[in-house]
Structure 1
Amino acid sequence: MALEALFGPVLEKSDKSEVKTSELSKSGDGVLGIYFSAHWCPPCRGFTPQLAEVYNKLKADGKDFEIVFVSSDRDPAAFAEYHSGMPWLALPYANRDKKQELSDKYGVRGIPTLVLINAATGETISKEGRQLISKDGAAGFPYKG
């Protein structure tokens, strides 16, 4: 399955409980955001609340949208503190190899970066998710680039 290949078998909720990656959406219109961010990054701390607002609106509207936080924090404690304020899933901090694989795959050169992919196929929709969210908010869903 495409998402398991990207993230591994489990993702983490902000309360530290685990979610099987295989349980994520497989619908053709589902959108998954891969959010590269870190607590120490001022632009990230500015964008995260905006992204959370859009995420919560889309979820409340029944849209098939999920986000996976991929941390560039310097240690597990900073990751845990930052993720605790996010309503979405995260790649477990200990999975640094997958973090590097994802950064390389999507050409991440700075943060915050939000990559949007088709949740069913894993195909990239846009590597400019931050700009799409900032410009269009929830109204832009499903963010076709």
Structure 2
Amino acid sequence: MAQNFFSGTSLRLNDGSMVDAGEHLKGKIVVLYFSASWCGPCRQFTPIMKELYQQISATNQPIEVILLSRDYMRFQLDEYYEKQGCSWGVVPLRDPIIEKCLEKYDVKALPSCRVVDEFGNCLDANARHNVEKYREKRQMTELFNKWRQQMVQVRA
């Protein structure tokens, strides 16, 4: 079996605890959210990500949003995370996985989202656009189901 893409990466959870991202993300659909406190469009999009996460996780579906911040200082990240009421995992600033993900998933602008499985296979390269589109139609659960179907196809 392929190695978990996130193994060995630390992930800070909402309660402040640190976990191995590889273990925490096993079997989950992972929304990589590239954002920063200084980015105006990010501050507009973060509530939408929060809505997606709350709607899907409330149904006990295997989803996790991971914040990969482009902030410069931890206090900026922490303040932004708290002010926005985020409840998902955060990769510590300057962790090598952030640059690895920016390159692997060809992230050129903020905010950006990529939906991947635990092995790093991209399930949705246009996740930001799709989240906004499905939110307008009030169909975020349907979007999650599309990601889940894509994950099954990738693993087949």
Change (3 A) 1:143 1:132: farther
Between stretches 59-68 and 11-20, larger displacement belongs to: 11-20
Are 1:71 and 2:69 an aligned pair? yes
Between stretches 18-27 and 110-119, larger displacement belongs to: 18-27
Say which one has the larger Rg.
2
Please, what TM-score do these two structures have when normalized by structure 1? 0.86
Corresponding residue number in structure 1 for 2:80:
82
CA contact (8 A) 1:32 1:66 kept: yes
CA contact (8 A) 1:9 1:21 kept: yes
Matched length: 139
Corresponding residue number in structure 1 for 2:131:
133
Corresponding residue number in structure 1 for 2:107:
108
Change (3 A) 1:122 1:94: closer
Corresponding residue number in structure 1 for 2:153:
none
Distance, in Å, in 1 between the alignment partners of 2:14 and 2:43 is 16
Runs of 4+ displaced beyond 3 Å: 142-145
What amino acid is the match of 1:50? I
Helix, strand or coil at the partner of 1:61: coil
Deviation at 1:3, TM superposition (A): 3.1
CA contact (8 A) 1:132 1:143 kept: no
Helix, strand or coil at the partner of 1:4: coil
Identity %: 27
Corresponding residue number in structure 2 for 1:45:
43
Change (3 A) 1:25 1:72: closer
Distance, in Å, in 2 between the alignment partners of 1:69 and 1:78 is 13
Please, what TM-score do these two structures have when normalized by structure 2? 0.80
CA contact (8 A) 1:12 1:90 kept: yes
Give the aligned CA root-mean-square deviation in angstroms: 1.8
CA contact (8 A) 2:53 2:63 kept: yes
- Match among 3, 6, 11 for residue 5 of structure 2: 3
Distance, in Å, in 1 between the alignment partners of 2:33 and 2:146 is 15
Corresponding residue number in structure 1 for 2:116:
117
CA contact (8 A) 1:117 1:126 kept: yes
- Unpaired runs of 5+ residues, structure 1, are none
What amino acid is the match of 1:135? K
Corresponding residue number in structure 1 for 2:16:
16
What amino acid is the match of 2:19? V
